[in-house]
């Protein structure tokens, strides 16, 4: 039995000084019950909390730690960069090098601008798409999450749906009116919206594999259908690859599915654990960004030398070691097969969605292909399952509406521990 008295005490104390005791909502375990664990260190597949408990980590900082925690590859690069200055506010050689590296990896990117988070990347990308097209409206998909920019907190996934606020107060009606939404995987619904708003849609933005309503895969032809529609209508197609970028393939979901958007947004792995995001795309579009063009976007710490050193080390490693993706696929095959066998043994048939090293178990028998079907999951059962896994030292995303991320630090032995914990936790939760 894992006890966490120090974490409990810290969580009480945190609530006096930090809203809800956390600096990002879904960390609070609100949807699953119980108190969050306060972490002190992490190495490889494991995280250690204030009470000295060890957890096998399947969140990996919500994606970035694809090589496991405290990877020497990234840490050595950061340590080497520190003595030269934490920030200049002037250009550096490293910024060109990372831009060139990103361009060489991500099919849609011909020019790229570095920012400090995924949220900044998506906010900036739609501003540029609006500036480029001279149009105001955007289309997003129900259950997709693109960070906390006003335009995206409409039918939003991730922490927003977990806490029951997919349409956040504080977003003005004017902004909300410019965001149209369609069900994920429903090309006809998108065509109807485009038809009804002819010549007014600046951009269609989506997660090419959705990870923020739990994992939902794009139906056959969905991505290509959007590509064709955007070409016909002069709409900028934006893939939000903050989660999937550098994870599903070196070039992200666009490489895996062979569909190239006009713009892409990146985050998470791109900073190797440091706060980094980026947006990029066709030269013709990116040349609208200041100071090359009229669309304003800036950042005091953008292209920060320490963050760039971390990102450069991470991306270089991934580019030079394609076997990482084979390993991640094999590990995830093992995890998913084990879970399927467990469910068979227990006579239950929950939906397992998976692409590469991302997966979700939905506590529903229905196929999960969009937000509506994701919401048929039994979230109370998920909460019991989550807490049973936590008690066995397995740290999952504390919400049904999140994907899990596998790192290269998950060995076959650790995968088998996970599968055993999964069986016992399912039994306890049912």
Active site members: 145, 240, 268
Residue from 7, 60, 108, 122 in contact with ligand PMP (CB under 6 A): 122
DSSP strand pairing (46-49 vs 39-43): antiparallel
Residues 6 or more apart whose Cβ sits within 8 Å of residue 4: 35, 37, 49, 50, 51, 53
Closest to 374 in 3D by CA, of 386, 363, 385, 359 = 363
Whichever of 53 and 117 has its CB closer to ligand PMP, that residue is 117
Total of residues contacting ligand PMP (CB under 6 A): 17
DSSP per-residue codes, 136-154: -EEEEETT----S-GGG-S
Q: By CB under 6 A, tell whether 408 contacts ligand PMP.
A: no
**Any contact of residue 207 with ligand PMP (CB under 6 A)?**
yes
| Token pair listed for 369 | 């292909």
CA-CA-CA-CA torsion for 147, 103, 99, 116, nearest 10 degrees? 0
86: region left, alpha or beta (phi > 0 left; psi from -120 to 50 alpha): alpha
CA–CA separation, 203 vs 139, rounded Å? 6
Q: Which residues from 62-91 bind ligand PMP, rule CB under 6 A?
A: 62
* Choices 164-172, 237-245, 246-254, 292-300; region in contact with ligand PMP by CB under 6 A: 237-245
- Residue 38: which of 68, 15, 65 has the closest Cα? 15
Binding residues among 362-401 for ligand PMP as defined by CB under 6 A: none
**Continuous segment of H or E residues that includes residue 331:** helix 323-346
Kindly state the smallest distance separating residue 126's Cβ from ligand PMP, in Å: 12
DSSP 55-97: EEESSTTTTT-TT-BT-HHHHHHHHHHGGG-S--SS--HHHHH
Q: Between 113 and 392, whose beta carbon lies closer to ligand PMP?
A: 113
Instruction: Sort residue 61 into left (φ over 0), alpha (ψ -120 to 50) or beta.
Output: left
Q: Kindly indicate which of the ranges 168-176, 235-243, 297-305, 377-385 contains the residues binding ligand PMP, using the contact rule CB under 6 A.
A: 235-243
Site string for ligand PMP, 239-268 (x = CB under 6 A): -x-xx-----------------------x-
Name the minimum Å distance from CB 430 to ligand PMP: 30
Residue 46 or residue 62: which is nearer to ligand PMP going by CB? 62
Stretch that binds ligand PMP, among 143-151, 336-344, 362-370, 375-383 (CB under 6 A): 143-151
214 binds ligand PMP (CB under 6 A): no
Binding mask 276-315 for ligand PMP (x = CB under 6 A): -x--------------------------------------
- Determine if 118 is a binding residue for ligand PMP (CB under 6 A): yes
Q: Can you tell me the distance from the alpha carbon of 424 to that of 151, in angstroms, rounded to the nearest whole number?
A: 42
The phi and psi torsions of 2 (rounded to 5 degrees) equal -85, 125
Contact window for ligand PMP (CB under 6 A) among 46-54, 118-126, 291-299, 324-332: 118-126
149 touches ligand PMP by CB under 6 A: no
| Residue with smaller CB distance to ligand PMP, 163 or 381 | 163
Contact call for residue 403 and ligand PMP (CB under 6 A): no
Q: Which stretch binds ligand PMP (CB under 6 A): 46-54, 72-80, 174-182, 236-244?
A: 236-244
User: At closest approach, how far in Å is the CB of 212 from ligand PMP?
Assistant: 5
Complete DSSP assignment for 192-246: HHHHHTTTTEEEEEE-SSB-BTB-BPPPTTHHHHHHHHHHHHTPEEEEE-TTTTT
Give contact residues for ligand PMP (rule: CB under 6 A).
62, 117-119, 122, 145-147, 158, 207, 211-212, 240, 242-243, 267, 277
């Amino acid at each position: 039995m894992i006890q966490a008295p120090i974490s409990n005490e810290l969580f009480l104390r945190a609530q006096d000084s930090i809203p809800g005791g956390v600096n990002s909502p879904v960390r609070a375990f609100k949807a699953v019950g119980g108190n969050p664990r306060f972490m002190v260190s992490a190495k490889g597949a494991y995280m250690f909390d204030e009470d000295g408990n060890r957890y096998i980590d399947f969140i990996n900082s919500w994606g970035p730690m694809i090589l496991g925690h405290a990877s020497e590859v990234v840490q050595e690069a950061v340590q080497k960069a520190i003595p030269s200055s934490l920030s200049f506010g002037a250009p550096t050689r490293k910024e060109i090098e990372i831009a060139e590296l990103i361009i060489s990896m991500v099919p849609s990117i011909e020019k790229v601008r570095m920012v400090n988070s995924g949220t900044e990347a998506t906010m900036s990308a739609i501003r540029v798409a609006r500036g480029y097209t001279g149009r105001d409206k955007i289309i997003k998909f129900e259950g997709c999450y693109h960070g906390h920019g006003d335009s995206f907190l409409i039918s939003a996934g991730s922490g927003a749906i977990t806490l029951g606020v997919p349409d956040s107060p504080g977003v003005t009606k004017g902004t909300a009116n410019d965001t149209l939404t369609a069900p994920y995987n429903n090309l006809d619904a998108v065509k109807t919206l485009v038809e009804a708003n002819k010549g007014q849609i600046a951009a269609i933005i989506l997660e090419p594999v959705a990870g923020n309503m739990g994992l939902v895969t794009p139906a056959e032809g969905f991505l290509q259908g959007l590509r064709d529609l955007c070409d016909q209508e002069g709409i900028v197609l934006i893939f939000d690859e903050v989660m999937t970028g550098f994870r599903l393939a070196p070039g992200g979901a666009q490489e895996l599915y062979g569909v190239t958007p006009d713009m892409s947004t990146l985050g998470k792995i791109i900073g190797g654990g440091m706060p980094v995001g980026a947006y990029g795309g066709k030269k013709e579009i990116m040349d609208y960004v200041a100071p090359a063009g009229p669309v304003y976007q800036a950042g005091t710490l953008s292209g920060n030398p320490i963050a760039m050193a971390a990102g450069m080390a991470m991306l270089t490693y991934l580019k030079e070691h394609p076997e990482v993706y084979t390993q991640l696929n094999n590990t995830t095959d093992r995890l998913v097969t084990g879970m399927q066998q467990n469910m068979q043994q227990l006579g239950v048939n929950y939906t397992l969605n998976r692409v590469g090293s991302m997966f979700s178990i939905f506590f529903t028998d229905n196929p999960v292909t969009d937000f509506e079907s994701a919401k048929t999951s039994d979230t109370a059962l998920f909460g019991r399952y989550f807490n049973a896994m936590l008690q066995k030292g397995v740290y999952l995303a504390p919400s049904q509406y999140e994907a899990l991320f596998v790192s290269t630090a998950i060995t076959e032995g650790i995968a088998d521990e996970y599968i055993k914990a999964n069986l016992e936790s399912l039994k306890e939760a049912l």
